[in-house]
Structure 1
Amino acid sequence: MTSPIVTLCVGTEQRLFAAHEDVLSLSPFFSAIIRSRFLESISKRITLPDETPEIFSSVLEYLYKGDYYPRLLHNKRQDRWELEASDEDPMTGRGAVESTVYCHAAGQQLLKDTLVYCTAEKYGLDELKRIALRKQGLQSGIQCATILASARFAYANTPDSDSKLRAHYLALIIRSRGTFKRSGTMQMEMEGGGKLFFDLFVAMCNHMDDISSITKSPTSTKSPRNLR
């Protein structure tokens, strides 16, 4: 905490953040910037015009605390992961958690955890990616249009070698295909095409093949009384 302070100018509104140089350097992205720019510089300032301030705030919170609000908690009794309660905290004044954030780059609301994941990918923060992915799996009640828009954003902002977030969206869409079909959003999105829907087509075919193989399996035709 005694290292120099770096000022960060974030987003189109140029919101200012401050962070310790040593903390920022936990990210390979910022470490490279600090080494290249600030070796003999007096004014330590980084401009990030394309970032979303709310998402960058979550990244900074992770760098300092190892997580971002709402925290990920493990329910030992039920052996499952949960998000901390989102009732207003009298100490911090924080209220209900917003699961979506307006992203200027996309021009619409997107899932916050997807944005955090993609930002963590850019900054080289693998543990933050794991946290964001697990949190995203705990979200519910998200509109179909938001899910599809977030999926497209995920595809556009992650490399082909990183399949975890993409696989999450493919599984979610297949699992909730009835809801997506009724929403009327899927057809409009599919007309736009792209790798998302190619992968979705392949995943759906594999899903149907798996169901078919289970149905045709000899053991699946036996009645319970014949099983030993």
Structure 2
Amino acid sequence: RLYFVLTKCLSKNHPTAAPRVSPASIEPFLQAHNKQISLPDEQPEILSSILEYLYKGDYYPRLIHNKRRDTWSLEDDVMDVDGDDSKDAAYLHQADGSMILKDTAMYCAGERYKLPELKRLALRKQGLQAGIHCSTILTSARYAYANTPENDSQLRAHYLALIIRSRSTFKRSGTMQMEMEKGGKVFFDLFVAMCNHMDDISTASPALSRRT
């Protein structure tokens, strides 16, 4: 797909809400002879949302602020949308047929193109998601681990905490069993996080600590 973008929207000096792409982050993709940026491995849906963010400071579904209650929600959660597809915009279909959370992909795009504000926005929006299937959470977690550096302490930690909080559901999940049998760093990190969680509970409950 071919997208047309105003050059000033990729400039750090452009006075709009969203921070700009740093020149160093796009230089490897820039074709100097025609000012085209080649991103052959980027999903069109993600690139479209990145451009929306660069122009508007957010991407669909957007954050909505309830000033009266001082709370935040996602656009689809407060709109009266007919049908059962109102949540489709929150997901991305992968080539293998699996689904991941769009906010996870956007966080990883922020990492890839050095857009820390996009990462913060994506993480905040992902925290507002609810009713996500176990399979989508696990597929998204694997995607996050594959597309973030080893020292990432935000998105990876988000998934570990989410699985621990929902452990009563995951321990009955056949998908969880299959994914654990496949292995991967995410599950070692999950084991460590679960041990730390149990240590915290033991420290907070002396009676439990004596029994263990």
Q: TM-score, normalised by structure 2?
A: 0.83
Contact 2:25–2:114 (CA<8 Å) still a contact in 1? no
Aligned sequence identity (%) = 63
Amino acid at match of 2:161: A
Task: Give 2:8's match in structure 1, choosing from 19, 22, 27.
Answer: 22
Contact 1:113–1:135 (CA<8 Å) still a contact in 2? yes
4+ runs of 1 displaced by more than 6 Å?
Answer: none
Contact 1:29–1:122 (CA<8 Å) still a contact in 2? no
Using the alignment, how far apart are the partners of 1:33 and 1:190 within structure 2?
39
Using the alignment, how far apart are the partners of 2:103 and 2:67 within structure 1?
24
Which has more radius of gyration? 1
Amino acid at match of 2:10: L
1:54 aligns with 2:45: yes
Alignment of 1:101-140 (within 5 A): 101-104=92-95, 107-140=97-130
Aligned to 2:187: 197
Using the alignment, how far apart are the partners of 1:111 and 1:35 within structure 2?
26
Kindly indicate which of the two structures has a greater share of residues assigned to strand: 1
Amino acid at match of 2:63: L
Aligned to 1:145: 135
Higher relative contact order (CA 8 A, sep 6+): 2
Using the alignment, how far apart are the partners of 1:35 and 1:170 within structure 2?
33
Alignment of 1:1-228 (within 5 A): 15-25=1-11, 26-28=20-22, 32-33=26-27, 37-38=31-32, 41=33, 43-84=34-75, 85-87=78-80, 96-98=86-88, 99-104=90-95, 107-216=97-206
Contact 2:100–2:136 (CA<8 Å) still a contact in 1? yes
Using the alignment, how far apart are the partners of 2:28 and 2:100 within structure 1?
30
Contact 2:93–2:99 (CA<8 Å) still a contact in 1? yes
Q: TM-score, normalised by structure 1?
A: 0.77
Identify unmatched segments of 5+ residues in structure 1: 1-14, 90-94, 218-228
Contact 2:104–2:123 (CA<8 Å) still a contact in 1? yes
Identify unmatched segments of 5+ residues in structure 2: 12-19, 208-212
Contact 1:86–1:97 (CA<8 Å) still a contact in 2? no
SS at match of 1:182: coil
RMSD across aligned positions (CA): 2.3
1:37 Cα deviation from its structure 2 partner = 3.9
